[in-house]
Structure 1
Amino acid sequence: MKIGTRIDETGTLSRDGGAFWLRRDAGGRYQLELQRTPVDLVEKRVRLVGTLVGAELVSADGVAPA
């Protein structure tokens, strides 16, 4: 996908060290840049809306339960 592409996907939110990741339902994963830390959603199925800013990096507008 091209940088700047809008992302709207579901998957499982995980934490690895200090980083948050979305394990995508479609396969693969995205590292997330987040404005708030959604610790209550870790290891739960979520919907991610944001913008692709790197090869596997998404600037998240929102993460919510799916």
Structure 2
Amino acid sequence: MITDAVPLANRAKTQGMVDVSIAVAGATGGLASGLVVSAAGYPVLALIGGLVSLAILPAITATARSR
């Protein structure tokens, strides 16, 4: 969807940036979750994940209403 939204001349660069961003986000999430589990355990990690999910809901709602 992202690469379809940019001109053909910029698609390869855009796809590369998206791929790198996803890889960095995954590595950061893995590192952070490992630190949380080692410091506080799985219940705290689950609680944080739930809170992050709830924090994203207003953004999803606002986006859905604007369409």
Whether these two folds match at TM > 0.5 is no
Which is richer in helix?
2
Greater relative CO (CA pairs within 8 A, separation 6+)? 1
TM-score by length of 1: 0.19
The structure with more radius of gyration:
2
TM-score by length of 2: 0.19
Which is richer in strand?
1
